[in-house]
Structure 1
């Protein structure tokens, strides 16, 4: 039977509506947001701040699943292998930028096994030192004179605090403190207060209470000026050039994540990340809300991965 011109026009008009309706069928059950660190950790806090408004927007429960271990790599691998189209993950820098180099047997490929969704939040690190040490550029003069007699703490080999300090050493001639790894930032702080280590790169939320109490001294920020630490000057003010480093958390899905899911998340996430309420909650927990496009996230990962690869190679950093 011949198809009339009117029917062709109706079909053409209906097609995008049908496509849109099909796209809106995602999600059709609860969405799981997998975090590779325990409850109360900074990635976990970011996940829980986002879970409630995301659940309202998607009209489905958003469940935060904590799967800690191996610096977040267990959770990242779980997300990479998910095939249910309702599993997403929040990861940190290392899972996408340095784990592939540090873990030769890493069970996932950061470049191939994920769908980038958004860089969610960032924060600079604060270079803190013992309160008896001089400020600014005079600190680096004293550190050069001390050579390898001074130590710095981090939350472990391959952490952002460790790799960041090694990067800083490459930017400051004669700066050579020795790495001492700890289980977490509380242990780093305890060691500093006890005089076992002279310095560390730690997040503002951990650093500033100690600085404001006069127990530690802030030497500078690893980024430009930040509202997260308004009283701390950038390390550039102390003479450190070409150095910029932040900790961040990003939202991703497995490579198999469907197009309708990707498009829905992108559409709903943008206004959430611009919400004054969400931005304030994240700020109160030590995060600056960002909310990039998938392309913006991919560009950030690519740039930082190249920097981390170069420092790991140059310093011969290996996990024991």
Structure 2
């Protein structure tokens, strides 16, 4: 995970020395919004009107943040409106790279570029910052709309409804404050918490991350004992934001990131809940476990210097989940 400085690529890992060994994630810098009519969104500039074929999504199948956007693209009926380019699962000295179309990799379908960082410098030749996915690209203005996954899924949730006729709402206004309260805890302690465990470089930083992670998983297990979904009987963005971490937990985070107090399958409610979301129409097709396992173990040589890719656990995500019988509190 390198970065650009004034438009020049540098193969530089995160600096944990200045933070006492703790991993600190950089904030996304492109924060524009696609809206139905192109009016400005909550941040950034206006002029990004929803239109079929105008936007292009760059993703990694391995990345949980990009995975969110793939799920929303699928469940909101956007697959025919927003094409996708998929990077190689290995993230090495040039960061995310493109490759010829094989084994799920598509290459850069827009420009035929070699590296994701070249997409960033197309948008801003002097860009400084991390090069992350997802990237939502505007083919009309030839710039990045957003590289913030939490905001891209909200765009996908509603901005294109007039084109697709799909009005299913995963961010209902009447419970947004409650959703956000849950999102904050899950993001800090679970979504980003596993990374804070895995990328810690001191015992103190690891300890500070791993205990809140499992405290929050225990809290979620209890919450799901009487609720089918996080907010009750309705699936919301909070569920999909959590799902992309849970689906990676036992194959990757438990071993690779030292999140090994318990496995996901040791939590009966969380494990059944994960299987139900996996079985949601269209979602299984967004899960590419081969990319997930390969990426983490092969790319992070500071954690796995010999790049040995483990065999992984046998998990049956298609087993009956029983969540349809769950009482709703």
TM-score of the aligned structures, taking structure 2 as reference length:
0.32
**Comparing both chains, which one has the higher relative contact order based on Cα–Cα distances under 8 Å and sequence gaps of 6 or more?**
1
* Greater C-alpha radius of gyration: 1
TM-score of the aligned structures, taking structure 1 as reference length:
0.33
Which structure shows the higher helix fraction? 1
